[in-house]
């Protein structure tokens, strides 16, 4: 490729470290799409003749068929997917193939291909996020009133419902979906025609190639066009946040499926066994979702680190931008699919969750609120009195509802028999009617909201 300047080829180690065809071949579809649009534009403005454009188009289509069929011989000595396709095109159609690279550089070519690849990945992942939201929503719709404990610090806090818990993840994923769509908007500008870094003297039509490739517009600065990978960084950040949400749910599944909790069960299809312990049912799918999140977070930090010290414009360091992105898209695709599958396989243990919902004095806040409402106590005084009542119940080995009225009145004489109406987990959950609260009526309303929004 640069034989006019160099008397001999690269050494073996230089060829090995320089080549990216081992991974950037994933962009072959995008490279062909970009080249087809570029050739059509070159013909339209008269830089190449219509017969050359026709030969290029036919040649690229044949090459696409070869790659699709697994018959394309990728050559490491040609470094990357761009040169591999261009060399094969010239081999097939001769001189016309050599005209294709007029008015562009590998710098703007790879920036365009990479944007196209990330955009395609964004579209696919957005669809999967929606599917995962529907899976969470399906559990929520079935369990709007199913009691379970709500935790802070992984300690019993207040009773909630399984439906409300599932809807929390619908909300998280809805923001992930929004971030993916929002990042796509910023990505959707076309670098093609920025050439090496300063544009080109050929009378190209960058708006035409941008439109042909589905971009909103061409990029406005040729230096920025080839120097920046913030679209990939933003994609990785969006994926990392989404994976973190999935990982939090995966952690909960590993806890909930433990027999000590026994809140839910996963079937044989979504668990594994042990080579030595016959009784084991391991939530490996959940654990792997949790584990793959580390890889995704690492890819984000990796690309940030690659880019942080690069003066404008292009440097070969930027060849390291792709593998983490490819790996992240693949990992998040699998994590979303596994999470949706586990949700659709989930079998909650209603009795176990209901029993746990009342454990650990989880209705203590309801007692404090009752003292405020009925006895007009300042909340801080009610909080103190309730704490003393909890301590008494704990010393006696009973829950709050297990104390007698007399025993409560020994601490707060004004307590009335009606207090027992707020001490059950069901009444506690039902009372939380503030907007966004855990009351089953609220949950049912939010389920309907999301069903309509996702319809």
Task: Out of 153, 201, 260, 275, pick the active-site residue.
Answer: 153
Annotation marks residue 201 as catalytic: no
Cα distances (angstroms) measured from residue 143 to each of 2, 266, 342, 389, 405: 66, 17, 16, 32, 34
Q: Which two tokens stand for residue 142?
A: 């079935």
Dist. CA 75–CA 54, nearest whole Å: 26
Locus of tokens 């920036």: 111
Dist. CA 175–CA 241, nearest whole Å: 10
Annotation marks residue 228 as catalytic: no
Work out the end-to-end distance of the chain between its first and last CA atoms, rounded to an integer number of angstroms.
53
DSSP string, 335-399: HHHHHHHHHHH-EE-HHHHHHHHTTTSTTHHHHHHHHHHHH---HHHHHHHHHHHHHHHHHHT--
CA atoms lying within 13 Å on the CB side of residue 201: 0
Dist. CA 176–CA 170, nearest whole Å: 10
Q: What share of the chain is helix, strand, coil (3-state, %, to 5)?
A: 65, 5, 30
| Residues 361 and 390 sit within 8 Å (Cβ to Cβ) | yes
Max Cα distance, the chain (Å): 100
417: Cβ contacts below 8 Å, ≥ 6 apart = 405
Tell which residue, 429, 31, 343, has the closest CA to residue 166.
343
Task: Out of 164, 178, 274, 424, pick the active-site residue.
Answer: 274
Dist. CA 371–CA 139, nearest whole Å: 36
Q: Specify the 3-state DSSP secondary structure of 443.
A: helix
Dist. CA 281–CA 427, nearest whole Å: 35
Q: Specify the 3-state DSSP secondary structure of 160.
A: strand
Q: Specify the 3-state DSSP secondary structure of 83.
A: helix
Residues with active-site annotation: 153, 274
């Amino acid at each position: 490729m640069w034989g006019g300047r160099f008397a001999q080829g690269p050494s073996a180690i230089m060829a090995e470290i320089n080549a990216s065809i081992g991974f950037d071949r994933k962009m072959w579809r995008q490279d062909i799409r970009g080249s087809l649009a570029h050739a059509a534009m070159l013909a339209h403005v008269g830089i190449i003749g219509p017969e050359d454009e026709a030969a290029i188009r036919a040649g690229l289509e044949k090459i696409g068929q070869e790659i699709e069929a697994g018959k394309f011989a990728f050559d490491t000595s040609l470094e990357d997917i761009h040169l591999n396709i261009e060399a094969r095109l010239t081999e097939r159609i001769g001189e016309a193939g050599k005209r294709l690279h007029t008015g562009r550089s590998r710098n703007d070519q790879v920036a365009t291909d990479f944007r196209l690849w990330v955009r395609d990945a964004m579209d696919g992942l957005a669809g999967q996020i929606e599917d995962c939201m529907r899976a969470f929503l399906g559990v929520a719709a079935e369990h709007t009133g199913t009691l379970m404990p709500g935790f802070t610090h992984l300690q019993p806090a207040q009773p909630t419902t399984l439906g409300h818990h599932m809807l929390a993840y619908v909300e998280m994923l809805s923001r992930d979906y929004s971030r993916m769509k929002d990042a796509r908007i910023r990505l959707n500008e076309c670098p093609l025609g920025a050439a090496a870094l300063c544009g080109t003297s050929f009378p190209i039509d960058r708006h035409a190639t941008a439109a042909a490739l589905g971009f909103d517009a061409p990029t406005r600065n040729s230096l920025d066009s080839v120097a920046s990978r913030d679209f990939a960084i933003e994609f990785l950040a969006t994926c990392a946040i989404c994976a973190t949400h999935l990982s939090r749910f995966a952690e909960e599944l590993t806890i909930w499926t433990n027999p000590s909790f026994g809140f839910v069960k996963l079937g044989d299809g979504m668990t594994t066994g042990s080579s030595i312990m016959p009784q084991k049912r391991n939530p490996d799918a959940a654990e792997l979702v949790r584990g793959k999140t580390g890889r995704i977070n690492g890819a984000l930090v990796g690309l940030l680190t690659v880019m942080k010290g690069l003066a404008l414009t292009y440097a070969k360091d930027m060849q390291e931008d792709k593998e983490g992105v490819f790996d992240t898209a693949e990992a998040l695709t699998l994590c979303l699919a596994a999470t949706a599958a586990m949700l659709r396989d989930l079998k909650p243990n209603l009795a176990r969750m209901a029993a746990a919902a009342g454990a650990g004095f989880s209705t203590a806040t309801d007692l404090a609120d009752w003292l405020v409402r009925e006895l007009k106590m300042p909340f801080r005084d009610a909080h103190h009195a309730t704490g003393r009542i909890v301590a008494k119940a704990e010393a006696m080995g009973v829950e709050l509802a297990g104390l007698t009225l007399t025993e409560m009145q020994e601490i707060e004489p004004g307590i009335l028999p009606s207090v027992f109406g707020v001490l059950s987990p069901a009444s506690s959950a039902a009372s939380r009617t503030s907007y966004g609260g855990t009351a089953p009526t609220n949950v049912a309303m939010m389920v309907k909201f999301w069903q309509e929004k996702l319809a």
